[in-house]
Amino acid sequence: DGGITQSPKYLFRKEGQNVTLSCEQNLNHDAMYWYRQDPGQGLRLIYYSQIVNDFQKGDIAEGYSVSREKKESFPLTVTSAQKNPTAFYLCASSMVWGSPGELFFGEGSRLTVL
Amino acid sequence: GENVEQHPSTLSVQEGDSAVIKCTYSDSASNYFPWYKQELGKRPQLIIDIRSNVGEKKDQRIAVTLNKTAKHFSLHITETQPEDSAVYFCAASGRNRDDKIIFGKGTRLHILP
């Protein structure tokens, strides 16, 4: 089954701890993205990657970091520098960056900071 | 950069009636306008999209219209059904390699029995 998989689905973190959210896709897509979803705020872009070993900051990158060592994987680390990390995080992929097209989303990871 | 405004934030319509959600964008270079539907507890999924070389696109009960001069586009759902209840997001993107897909804040659509 082709698709995009996020884990974990739910995650709890104590203040001051870093946490890494996993995102894996087997769609052979070049581009991958991380969005943050808060009630009434829509989908805000954190980071995106067009090709392996390259990524760019989105609109709200502060307090987050990513890596793209493999085409299939784009993990997101929420660092202790992120002031308000409690949110729903969505990973997405698309076939080719340069030609706008459909985003395929994962099922999301809900992070709660205690 | 691009900014997308979406209205209304909440919309309730009687089952069988039509629903209209409107979006405006700021960057005249934008040329791709998708709409995503997110049912409760599920991932967003593309339901329809339109590119700037057309003014209207239909797919069964849903249609999207685009007015490039006014920089606004709308989603129309006819003969609404309970399964249409969801949050709908509009988005806009340009044609350049570095252009990002920018989303509106979403519209929560309630279909009333």
A39 vs A41: CA distance, rounded Å? 6
CA dihedral B24, B26, B28, B34 (to 10 degrees): -50
How confident is the model at residue A99, as a pLDDT?
58
| Opening angle at CA B94, ends A59 and A42, nearest 5 | 40
Low-confidence ranges of chain B (pLDDT < 50): none
Distance from CA of B29 to the nearest CA of A (A): 13
Provide the greatest CA pair distance for chain A: 41
Quick check: B9 and A98 CB within 8 A? no
How confident is the model at residue B95, as a pLDDT?
64
- Please state the φ and ψ torsions of residue B84, each to the nearest 5 degrees: -80, -15
pLDDT category of residue A114 using cuts at 50, 70 and 90? confident
Distance from CA of A44 to the nearest CA of B (A): 7
Cα dihedral sign, B84-B37-B29-A40: positive
Distance from CA of A110 to the nearest CA of B (A): 11
Q: What is the DSSP letter of B82?
A: G
How confident is the model at residue B52, as a pLDDT?
81
pLDDT tens across A3-24, in order? 999 999 999 999 889 999 999 9
Q: Pick from B43, B94, B101: which is nearest to A107 by CB?
A: B43
Q: Which residues of B touch A90 (CB under 8 A)?
A: 43-44
Q: Which residues of A touch B6 (CB under 8 A)?
A: 42
- % helix / strand / coil in chain B, to the nearest 5? 5, 55, 40
Interface probe for A, chosen from B6, B36, B101 (most Cβ of A below 10 Å), is: B101
Q: What is A21-77 written as a DSSP string?
A: EEEEE-S--SEEEEEEEETTTEEEEEEEESSTT--EE-TT-TTEEE--SBTTB--EE
pLDDT tens across B12-38, in order? 999 999 999 999 999 988 989 999 999
Quick check: B105 and A44 CB within 8 A? no
**CA closest to A58 among chain B residues:** B100
How confident is the model at residue B78, as a pLDDT?
97
The answer on pLDDT for A51 being more than 80 is yes
How confident is the model at residue A1, as a pLDDT?
56
pLDDT tens across A53-66, in order? 999 999 899 999 99
Quick check: A107 and B42 CB within 8 A? yes
Quick check: A42 and B104 CB within 8 A? yes
**CA closest to B2 among chain A residues:** A59
Q: Which residues of A touch B86 (CB under 8 A)?
A: none
pLDDT tens across A58-92, in order? 989 999 999 999 999 999 999 988 889 999 999 99
